[in-house]
Structures are given as C-alpha cells and as structure tokens.
Amino acid sequence: MDRRNGGAGLRAWLALALAWIALVALAPRTFPQGWHQDERYGFKFLAPKGWKAIPLKAEENWLVAKYLCDEKDFYTGDSGWTYDHQAELMVIAFVAEATKQKQKVTELGGEGGKDEKEKLVEFFQPYKDYEDYLDRTYSGGGFYVSEREEGTANGLPVTKLEVKVEKLAGSTGPKRIVTWIFHAPEVDFAVQTELLEDVYAKRKGTVLSALKSFKAIPRTMGPLPSEGKTDEGFFISFSSMNKGSPEEHKQARLDSERQLHARAKKSLPAGWQVKEHKRFLLVFDTDAGFVDKVAEGADALLTWADENLAFIGPGEYVRRPILRVCASREEKESLERGVRSSESWSFSSDSELVTCKDEYGATGWQMDELNRDLLRLWLRDRDQEIWLGMPEWVQHGLEEYVAGARGSGRKLAFKDYFYEMQAFREAAQQGKNVPVRELVQMSQADFYGSNNNYDGLWNRMAQADMLVRFLLSSECSRSKQTKTLLFDYLKHVRDAVLELENQGGTDKPEAEPKTEEEEEALYKKKHEDWGTSEREKAVLQKTFQRAFAGWSAKDWEAFEKAFIKYAG
C-alpha cells in the first residue's frame, strides 16, 4: 500500500462499509430458506416446500400468514363433474385483547326535554376462539371434530384438532382440516391446513412437518394488535370522509389512501411487486405487460365514469384503490377467502380490488367482474347516498353496462350486448316484459324473486340492462322529456335517502364508528337490512313520484314505444 494514500484509502473503505450497512438495514429482511418469520406476533414456522405465500389484503383481520399448495388435487362427485382443489395453510392469531366482547354506549335524549337519558348499549362480538371461527366459517357444512389432543410442542401448550367437513355449499368434496392451536402469552395461534379427504394420506407428512416446526420467537415490533386486525394504524372512518367541504373530503380520503397503501406494501411475500399508477396502487406477481394492460383498461373505465356520470358527486375525490393482479384464479380465490372480519363481511374491501389472468387474458370474464367492482368503488366515494340507496334495476343495469368495457389506448370500447337485447326482444314478443313504470318501482326482493321464486328473473335483468343502456344512449338524449332522466332519477334517490337518514327514530344515523370493527358492523347491518326494510320501499316510492311527476298515460306510452324500438 502507498502510505501517501493510506488515509484516503481508509476513508474510502469506511464510506463503502457504512453504505453497505445502510443498504442492508434498509433492505427487506430475509430468513433461512423456507422459514416464515413474524417478529410482531412472535412466531416462525417452516413453510411446506414449493407452497406459495399468499399476501394478506389491506383490511384483513385475524389472518397473519397464508400458503397455497403448488399442486392441484381433484375430486369427482356423484354428478360426474370433476373439481380441482389446492390445499391451504393459514395462521390465524386470536389476540386475547381482541377476542373480548366490545360494547358501545350511546346516550339518547329524554322525552319532552326532560333530563333523563336512555342509554343504548350495543355489543360487538368478535371471534371468541378458533372453535368459534369454525362454527361461523363452516356452518351448514356438516363438520365435526373427529380428534382432539392436548399436549406441548416446542415449549408451547398445544391443542391438536382434526375436523371432518362432509359437505359445504359450493364445496369441492369432503375435506379434512388439521389444526394445531399454539397457546402463547396473550395470543393463540391456530395453524390450520385444509385439504381434500382423499389426499390426506398423501400430504400428511408435509402437513405435520409444517405444524411441528412452529415456534414462538421474541416480539420486537411493538405491541400486539388489540382490535382484531393486523395493523393498528390510525383509523379513518368512511363517515368522516364525508364531513365538511369536498376539499376536506379529499384530504381525509388521501389520508385513508396513504394508510391503505402502506398496509398493502408492508410484508409482501417474495415474488410480488408494487407499482405506482395515477389511478391505482398496482400489486402483482404476474407478467408486468398484462398488469399494464389491466391498469390501462381500468383507468379508461374510471375516466368514462368521470365524464359520463359526472352528475354523481361532482368534485368528490375517488381514492386510488389497491389493484392486486394474481398469477392464477386459484391464487386469487385463496387471497379473497381470507378471514377478514368476524362475520366474513367487509365494508372496506371495496378499497382493494383483486383480479387475475384467466384463459382469455385482458378480454376475459375476470375483467368483467373487475369493472363491476370499479364502478361500485367509484360510486361509493363519489356519493354514499346514491351508492347505498340505488334501486336494483339501475344498479344491475349500470354494472352490466360497464362489465363489457375494454380499454384500448385512451379509448373505451363496450362489448356487444346481443344476449341482453335478444332476451328482452323475446320477452317483449311473448308479452313477458314488465312495464317500465313497474320495473322502476321493484324492490330488491321483487326484482330477484322472493321465496326462491325466480320466474321471469332473466327477463327482468335483461330489461333493466337495456333500460339503462337506453337512458345513456344518444336516442334518449334527443328527447326533452328523457334527456336528463337518469340524472334526475338518481338525484331524487339521493334526496330520499338523506330525508330518511335525517328523520328521528330508527332511521336516525348511528354514531360515527371509532374503530374498523364498529364500521364493519354498521355497514354490514345497513346492507343486510336494506332489501327487507321499509326504508327501501320508501326510497323507491319517493323517487318514482318525483322523477316522473307530471307524466301522463300518453307520456308513458311514448316512452315505452321509444324504449321497445331502441331495444330491438
């Protein structure tokens, strides 16, 4: 070494070493081959060789790890149909604090201005334990616990269960669930594997190896989540995003967007990539070219909604959703199953869209479903009242209208609607079509058929689809009477919903939720009650009376005639 350059050489070496240390510190942590390690919850296990890690959705509750078998198993039922199934491994965390029954107390004013106040106590019941999760998840599936054993494994008390699932709606055949519940301080970890009964003997060794490898490790990333969700980030309720001015709405939604995106980026499995897009956060594990094509079409659809449905929530900011693009249908379905809330229902799931590459690529039916989800998300952020109160005929018609849209550059092309037109034409020729004035007053139960009576359902759906197409068509825009009919109709929907929300009694809005759990419960109840409540009927009646005020029998006859002509 030249002594004249010794000091400079040492400084250069130190700078290089410090840069390397910083790079290592910032890089994602890696673990020994095959090990899944979670330092927040405090566990690790050896994942089955070749099984693929499935990411967790941003709003996921309880679920902390998931793997999907790399091979398909097959089951042929009595019908002769053969179904495929891929074994899964999940780790579900039952944090002691999160499993406690929560309560919310609301004080109601006394009658006639008196000081007495009535206290309304509402309880939010999360999962109590793993067996409660089983009861809720596999109810109706004819399951029973066939084996139970208490013991220890790797220094932890463990409950070993084997569960038989004989049948389940949409099931691919009898299944066996093998679960070891590890009882660690403050949290129980249920490591569950689900596979077809016929292949249990074949995969038993792989399953048991993973279960036997489970170990507790030190928790080094803060306290355990206490609200039954995998991230304790700052909670931003949807109702708080709709308070104040449109600019205040936008700021709250941007904060929500940043939080959801941060969750999605955190702890992605190996092989997944993240890409920023002006309308989405793209998260994917398939070829980038296909992802870009999906994003191009989805962007074009949102732009179409901005331009053609601009009368809905003008000036409102629509959050950039998380758009996950999976490599296969099986992977997509596994990710969507998840665990989520304690009722397997999620209001916030619309902020994360999941699709995949099917056999038809960017023109396939997976894109149809993605388009429907995009429209729902756009409507929800633009105007909650219209999104919540939209009658079934117009909701179905709009969703089917956009389902077949495909982007090509900056343009959006809509698929041919031959099947809807043909179905409606045949119904009209046979006198089975419903007069429009009756169709637009149908409740959800009437539209889809109550008590499993689906007579005429396909005709009603085809007619609703064609009616919405007609209201969006150039033919409709040329008539003074119908030029703004769709706009006026949805405006009256919004007014009717708000009137009912502002009434006293049971229709008065609930207190603003303070946690994700409370918001899930609130909107789940609203969705469940909507189709069976008097509220829906009141909205339909008020909207019809106002949107079609002054229409004579002659006006209705002319409208029906123009519609029939347009529809075929």
Q: Give the closest residue to 215 by CA, choosing from 131, 158, 147, 130.
A: 158
Contact 507, 538 (CB under 8 A): no
Q: Is residue 6 part of a domain?
A: no
How confident is the model at residue 64, as a pLDDT? 92
Contact 233, 263 (CB under 8 A): yes
Q: Is residue 32 part of a domain?
A: no
Total tally of structural domains belonging to the chain: 3
Same domain for 197 and 147: yes
Which DSSP letter does residue 456 get?
A: T
Contact 397, 440 (CB under 8 A): no
The pTM (predicted TM-score) of the whole model is: 0.77
How confident is the model at residue 13, as a pLDDT? 37
How confident is the model at residue 41, as a pLDDT? 93
What the block records as the tokens of 237 is: 């309720």
| Chosen domain end from 347, 382, 417 | 382
What the block records as the tokens of 20 is: 């390397």
Residue position matching structure tokens 């409507």: 379
Angle between helices 534-547 and 485-501 (to 10 degrees): 140
Beta strands in 154-280 (DSSP E): 156-165, 175-184, 187-196, 215-216, 273-276
Say if strands 73-76 and 88-95 run parallel, antiparallel, or are unpaired. unpaired
How deeply is 355 buried, as exposed, middle or buried, from its count of CB atoms within 10 A (0-12, 13-18, 19+)?
buried
Same domain for 211 and 77: yes
Residue position matching structure tokens 């936008």: 250
Same domain for 435 and 322: no
Contact 383, 376 (CB under 8 A): no
| For the chain, the helix, strand and coil percentages under 3-state DSSP, each to the nearest 5 | 45, 20, 35
Domain containing 301 equals: 233-382
Same domain for 246 and 203: no
Looking at residue 79, its amino acid is: S
Same domain for 190 and 97: yes
Pairwise CA distance, residues 410 & 162, whole Å: 54
What the block records as the tokens of 151 is: 């013991």
How confident is the model at residue 24, as a pLDDT? 36
Q: Phi and psi dihedrals of 276, rounded to 5?
A: -80, 140
Q: Is residue 8 part of a domain?
A: no
What the block records as the tokens of 434 is: 């419903």
How confident is the model at residue 426, as a pLDDT? 86
Predicted confidence (pLDDT) per residue in 406-452, tens digit: 887 667 888 777 888 888 888 888 888 889 999 999 998 889 886 65
Q: Is residue 293 part of a domain?
A: yes
Q: Is residue 559 part of a domain?
A: yes
**115: domain CATH number?**
3.40.1000.10
Q: Give the closest residue to 458 by CA, choosing from 428, 485, 430, 427.
A: 427
How confident is the model at residue 7, as a pLDDT? 43
| Cα angle value 201/90/368 (rounded, 5°) | 105
Pairwise CA distance, residues 1 & 408, whole Å: 63
How confident is the model at residue 268, as a pLDDT? 85
Same domain for 453 and 551: yes
Contact 516, 59 (CB under 8 A): yes
How confident is the model at residue 18, as a pLDDT? 39
How confident is the model at residue 343, as a pLDDT? 45
- For the chain, list residues with pLDDT below 70: 1-33, 59, 101-126, 139-141, 167-172, 226-234, 340-350, 360-363, 409-410, 450-454, 504-511, 515-517, 520, 524-532
Q: Is residue 262 part of a domain?
A: yes
How confident is the model at residue 119, as a pLDDT? 55
Same domain for 544 and 420: yes
Contact 223, 57 (CB under 8 A): no
Same domain for 122 and 51: yes
Contact 524, 340 (CB under 8 A): no
Q: Where are the alpha helices (DSSP H) in 404-509?
A: 418-429, 436-439, 444-448, 457-471, 474-477, 485-501
Same domain for 540 and 420: yes
Contact 439, 460 (CB under 8 A): yes
What the block records as the tokens of 24 is: 């290592």
Same domain for 183 and 45: yes
Predicted confidence (pLDDT) per residue in 490-529, tens digit: 999 999 988 887 775 444 545 677 766 677 677 766 666 6
How deeply is 425 buried, as exposed, middle or buried, from its count of CB atoms within 10 A (0-12, 13-18, 19+)?
middle
Pairwise CA distance, residues 181 & 218, whole Å: 18
Q: Is residue 3 part of a domain?
A: no
| Chosen domain end from 167, 189, 216 | 216
Pairwise CA distance, residues 509 & 220, whole Å: 42
Same domain for 339 and 289: yes
Same domain for 205 and 62: yes
Q: Is residue 22 part of a domain?
A: no
3-state secondary structure of 476: helix
